[in-house]
Amino acid sequence: MTKKVYLAGPEVFLANARDILDRKAALAREAGFTPLSPGDLDIEPTETKKEFGLAISAVDEKMMLEADAIIANLTPFRGIAADVGTTFELGFMCALGKPVFAYTNVAAGHYERVMEYYKGMAAPTDDGHVRGPDGLSIEDFDMIDNLMLQGGVERRGGKVIVGNAPADRLYTDLDAFKRCLAAAKEALL
């Protein structure tokens, strides 16, 4: 039995989702894994839009329960942080005690991205935190995103791979994914 790896990430939203998901799946197979993709859905029509969403949620969770490991694409999505569906899935797999791996296609870390979000308006305050003009403190832990994400991966012995894709290939460049797959292969196969 080959090990199953769940390929989490925001690729499902791409115009060429099928193509990218297929390329990721093919690379996972080449590495020796059986890929499970959240886009591999065949869901019966439902009465309401919400029921359809609930049905996808059920299928994706079922795939995670079947999977032996996860590779999560934490590339920032519509903003400065990872896709929240993907981070839910990463937490899900961490709690199940399954091997977790992650990557991002953005080289700038969390602190750097949030500073840019505040366009230079963030500054240290008396309580020792750097805060934006909205008063929100900025995590500065040399991590790619919120500490629960990178912490969850690295504390379990997983790897977080940092890529640096050009802006026009933010979700389609597979270099960091390949390196992440190689790390998962070395650890698990």
Which positions touch a copy of itself (CB under 8 A)?
A: 10, 12-17, 48-50, 52-54, 56-58, 60-61, 64, 77-85, 87-96, 114, 117, 125, 127, 131, 135-137, 139-143, 145-152, 154-155
Nearer to a copy of itself, 25 or 94 (CB): 94
Nearer to a copy of itself, 31 or 165 (CB): 165
Closest by CA to 12, choosing from 46, 40, 50, is 40
Q: How many CB atoms lie within 10 A of CB 173?
A: 17
Least distance CB 141 / a copy of itself (angstroms): 3
Least distance CB 5 / a copy of itself (angstroms): 17
Nearer to a copy of itself, 29 or 155 (CB): 155
Least distance CB 81 / a copy of itself (angstroms): 5
Q: Which amino acid is at 24?
A: K
Least distance CB 156 / a copy of itself (angstroms): 10
Closest by CA to 37, choosing from 58, 64, 76, is 64
Least distance CB 188 / a copy of itself (angstroms): 19
Closest by CA to 160, choosing from 172, 169, 168, 152, is 152
Nearer to a copy of itself, 58 or 189 (CB): 58
- Distances in Å between the Cα of 109 and the Cα atoms of 43, 63, 66, 113, 149 are 37, 30, 32, 6, 13
Nearer to a copy of itself, 28 or 94 (CB): 94
How many CA atoms lie less than 13 Å away from 112 in the CB half-sphere?
8
CA-based max dimension of the chain: 57
